[in-house]
Amino acid sequence: MSASSPDSPPPSIGRRTLLGAAAVATPAVLGVATPAAAAPSPAAAGSARKKPRALPGGGDLGPNVIVFDPSTPGIQARLDQVFRQQESAQFGTGRYALLFKPGTYNGLNAQLGFYTSIAGLGLSPDDTTINGDVTVDAGWFNGNATQNFWRSAENLALVPVNGTNRWAVAQAAPFRRMHVRGGLNLSPTGYGWASGGYIADSRIDGQVGPYSQQQWYTRDSAIGSWLNGVWNMVFSGVEGAPAQSFPNPPYTTLGTTPISREKPFLYLQGNDYRVFLPEKRTNARGVTWGNGTPRGTSLPLSQFYVARPGVSAATLNQALAEGLHLLLTPGIYHLDRPIQVNRAGTVVLGLGYATLIPDGGVTAVQVADVDGVRLAGFLVDAGPVNSATLLEIGPRGASRDHSANPTTVQDVFVRIGGAGAGKATTSMVINSRHTIVDHTWVWRADHGEGVGWETNRADYGVVVNGDDVLATGLFVEHFNKYDVQWNGQRGRTIFFQNEKAYDAPNQAAIQNGSIKGYAAYKVGDGVTTHEGWGLGSYCYYNVNPSIVQHHGFAAPVRSGVRFHNLLVVSLGGQGQYECVINDTGSPTSGTSTVPSTVVSYP
């Protein structure tokens, strides 16, 4: 690994467990939202005319959505209070969304702990300016940022006090639609370990310094410059990105992103809340908000059922059946049946890491084979009774063409164990064609409560059966068998980060027929077309360091199945890989944490 700043020597490698123990409508240009732009879908409108809704739309956002305007007294004190509560509450129950009305705020430092989201309420990040910082550091964990999960920043302009904002995060910590009028430092104070991360639709005027960050994905953004790379830095559609140079420096650079559609977001029009739905872009590059008003449509809050923790799955499904969308306010929701999303164009938007826990082995969310569903901003936490699946996009056998209006899954995170006992055979199943999975972390916990090879058993992380699926920013870790199994045709992944399960007791426990271990990313034998860029898998078999993993990646050998810039890493010699993909690529060896790479396959 390298850190090219003269005052930041490369930190030595350490892992989380070890250190933890030690320490809709056709898109249109939206100016001012019009009744046409805000209209419900024809089906929803027809249903509303036939009978009045039994459940109201709109309403108060609840006690854990804290809204500030520039005249609010005591903003810093309130921010500090939330941070003190959430700083080290990795598996706690607190959930918060900190929302800032358009305007200018001076002298703030919003430190973000677990399950805390901060966001501006303008149509553009530049509508809400903080002369100050939005900070993530790792003092709570002795300078180790590899467990700085589950927090987010969106839709703000920052003018950092010292010229550079610190955002030292790991997985499930998106930095979206942000304008940093200065630099961005992605490492903790002291340049300790870091294992992030994700940036999208953001402009950083100055330099981005990853320093110790092991891997990072930046999409459809603009940066002044990029300082260094450790193992796997991936860019697609980023103005100012470094040139393609993998593996030295380890930059994977695509000029554009094939298809993208930004995450829905809450904003204010006057005194009224609305949800903006950005339009789909093809061959995207740069931010969506830099030149005038953003493109997309808008829905008033009155078309959303504003859910509070404690509401039943039956009520959520009733709201959906009545033509409402769902806004999940911060908190924990127990489900005794799946949330059924059956209507095209439905939006399910979570605030402050709203968390869904399926009880009794049910699936948390099931989406029909319909156009344009948008799932965004929530966490699914497996329950103690095994669920066959936790999140299903489309039923088995789904085959409709959704290319004009795909379903998007954005900042939807899945966790099995850690906060308590949890089990799921398969976490996320994508059956619908053309689905875009834009930033997810699907995690079988390696630390916390309810953790053990069989205790939080979870065989498969993400299974893709649908054709034409695109993943941008795919983080999947620690599953008992395949972390990703991709059976659909014409699938594409830009950036993949993986660690194999730490806790395998012995070689036999991971044996896959005649193959040593299950690949982190397996392309089905019947697939004829598939492509991936910037994919990494790491092993840390700390329970039994003698375990050997044959390869990180497995795929049929066909000209249409192509990979670019792959790597595997043995962390400190805790287990080894024999190959990178199939039988290709040098083995890892010894205790040196040095990647083995394959630039192009086949």
Q: Would you name the residues annotated as active-site residues?
A: 499
The answer to whether residues 115 and 143 touch, using CB atoms and an 8 Å cutoff, is: no
Q: What is the CA radius of gyration of the chain?
A: 22
Whole-angstrom Cα distance, residue 176 to residue 197?
11
Whole-angstrom Cα distance, residue 28 to residue 282?
15
Residues 6+ apart with CB under 8 A from 501: 444, 446, 453, 478, 479, 480, 510
Compute CA 580 distance to the chain's CA centroid, rounded to the nearest angstrom: 25
The answer to whether residues 183 and 159 touch, using CB atoms and an 8 Å cutoff, is: no
Q: Is 392 exposed, middle or buried (0-12, 13-18, 19+ CB in 10 A)?
A: buried
The answer to whether residues 116 and 81 touch, using CB atoms and an 8 Å cutoff, is: no
Which residue from 555, 558, 581 is spatially nearest to 568, judged by alpha carbons? 581
Q: String of b and e for 365-377 (b: at least 16 CB within 10 Å)?
A: bbbbbbbbbbbbb
Whole-angstrom Cα distance, residue 471 to residue 496?
9
Tokens of 250: 């380890």
In terms of DSSP bridges, do strands 365-367 and 347-358 run parallel, antiparallel, or are they unpaired?
A: unpaired
Tokens of 32: 């001012």
Which residue from 202, 167, 217 is spatially nearest to 187, judged by alpha carbons? 167
Beta bridge partners of 512: 515
Which residue from 548, 547, 549, 588 is spatially nearest to 567, judged by alpha carbons? 588
The answer to whether residues 419 and 448 touch, using CB atoms and an 8 Å cutoff, is: yes
HEC profile of 30-50: CCCCCHHHHCCCHHHHHHHHH
Whole-angstrom Cα distance, residue 406 to residue 429?
16
Which amino acid appears at position 78 of this protein? R
Phi, psi of 215 (to 5 degrees): -150, 155
The answer to whether residues 200 and 208 touch, using CB atoms and an 8 Å cutoff, is: no
DSSP at 181: S
Residue with tokens 């799955």: 313
> Could you tell me if residue 406 is left (phi over 0), alpha (psi between -120 and 50 degrees) or otherwise beta?
beta
The answer to whether residues 285 and 258 touch, using CB atoms and an 8 Å cutoff, is: no
DSSP at 80: H
Helix, strand, coil proportions of the chain in percent (round to 5)? Answer: 10, 40, 50
Compute CA 188 distance to the chain's CA centroid, rounded to the nearest angstrom: 20
- The length of the chain is 602
Q: In what order do the strands lie in the sheet with 175-176?
A: 65-68, 96-100, 116-120, 151-154, 175-176, 198-200, 215-219, 232-236, 251-254
